[in-house]
Amino acid sequence: MNSLPVKPLTAEAFFEFGDVIEMDQRASQPMNRGMAERFPSLAKVETYGDKARAVISLVHSRRYSMPHSIELIERHPLGSQAFIPLDDTPFIVIVGPIGDEVDVSQLRAFKTNGSQGINYRAGIWHAPLFTPFDNMNFVCVDRDGEGSNCEEWLIAEDERPQINF
Amino acid sequence: MNSLPVKPLTAEAFFEFGDVIEMDQRASQPMNRGMAERFPSLAKVETYGDKARAVISLVHSRRYSMPHSIELIERHPLGSQAFIPLDDTPFIVIVGPIGDEVDVSQLRAFKTNGSQGINYRAGIWHAPLFTPFDNMNFVCVDRDGEGSNCEEWLIAEDERPQINF
């Protein structure tokens, strides 16, 4: 059993995998005659392939019990996928670099600060939403369209990274 | 001064203007081996014109004082625009039908239930984010790209609808 260390999520650490959607330390622009501020384009939505477009969904994720072994990693080759939490609760983001195979030694785990959302770039390997602290609701922005946009990678039992708190 | 009645936001009442982004009474699909449910494609993101794509921003909106007169209506001809609240607080959505001119008598005002988000379809006239109950944060999903995508309509002073609670 391989223990996977969990680090705080920062835009710098997550840069090769996608975007961190947060207001902290980001530039904003006034809008609505000064009554609002926009933190613009924190994530760019990727939609490739036929009849592709971005859609907005909501997702309810149940609380996972600890310790938890990561069995499955997936990727969406035709589009990015963003999750922004509607509850002020952290969740765990597990990602791996682009490549045809998953190298378990290259997986990285990050803990959000409760308000951060993330956007996986197209093709980035990632674990399914992992919510060990509470049931959570998310806004999801991803691709709808033709073609196969979900590939799964089952990790061999003796290689599965374990997360614990 | 014209008083604009404020009605509860429902998907049916908002249908001609865009989408209501909510879980209540919507169908869901299991995902992540039963650990999550997706309420899929509650809103479709429209992005027309050159070099257009969807982007995700965050917006902080300050509390408006009451009573409030609606001076300005705007529309985005090249794309939809969604606002999903990150705080469990209602806000007021003011919309008018597609058309080259704003007919003040056709404006409609809706109060969200605190968890509802909305997506204005491309070309729908709407007032800027109107948050009379508290300072609020929103996820915004709209269009980035070339071309002019914001038209404003200033309402004559004696025609401005007034909202009060």
3-state secondary structure of A67: coil
CATH number at residue A159: 2.60.120.480
Mean pLDDT of B142-154: 96
Number of structural domains in chain B: 1
Whether this model's ipTM surpasses 0.90 comes out as yes
Q: What is the separation of C-alpha B6 from the centre of its chain, rounded to a whole number of angstroms?
A: 14
Residue B108, H or E segment: strand B108-111
What's the CA gap between A134 and A85, in Å, rounded?
Answer: 12
Would you place residue B2 in the very low, low, confident or very high pLDDT band (cuts 50, 70, 90)?
A: confident
Binary contact (B128, A82; C-beta < 8 A): no
Cβ-based contacts of B60 with chain A (< 8 Å): 23, 28, 36-37, 39
Distances (CA, A) of B105 to A90, B19, B160: 46, 22, 10
Per-residue pLDDT at B84 = 98
Q: Do A141 and B45 touch (CB under 8 A)?
A: yes
pLDDT of residue B3 exceeding 70, the answer is yes
CB contact under 8 A, A54 and B57: no
Task: Give residue-wise pLDDT tens across range B7-20.
Answer: 999 999 999 999 99
Mutation pick from A42, A53, A58 vs chain B, by most beta carbons of B within 10 Å, is A58
**Token pair belonging to A59:** 């997702």
pLDDT over 70 (residue B40) = yes
- What pLDDT was estimated at residue A1? 61
- In this structure, how many other beta carbons lie within 10 angstroms of the beta carbon of residue A66? 11
Of A42, A57, A58, the CB nearest to B57: A42
Each residue's pLDDT, cut to its tens digit, for chain A (165 residues) gives 688 999 999 999 999 999 999 999 999 999 999 999 999 999 999 999 999 999 999 999 999 999 999 999 999 999 999 999 999 999 999 999 999 999 999 999 999 999 999 999 999 999 999 999 999 999 999 999 999 999 999 999 999 999 987
Please report which confidence band the pLDDT of residue B165 belongs to, taking 50, 70 and 90 as the band edges. Answer: confident
Task: Using an 8 Å CB-CB cutoff, list chain B residues near A118.
Answer: none
- Report pLDDT digits (tens) over B79-122: 999 999 999 999 999 999 999 999 999 999 999 999 999 999 99
Tell me which residue in A37, A57, A115 faces B42 most closely, judged by beta carbons.
A57
Structural domain for A96, as ranges: 2-163
**CA–CA separation, B49 vs A46, rounded Å?**
16
B1 pLDDT exceeds 70?
no
Q: pTM of this prediction?
A: 0.97
pLDDT at B117: 98
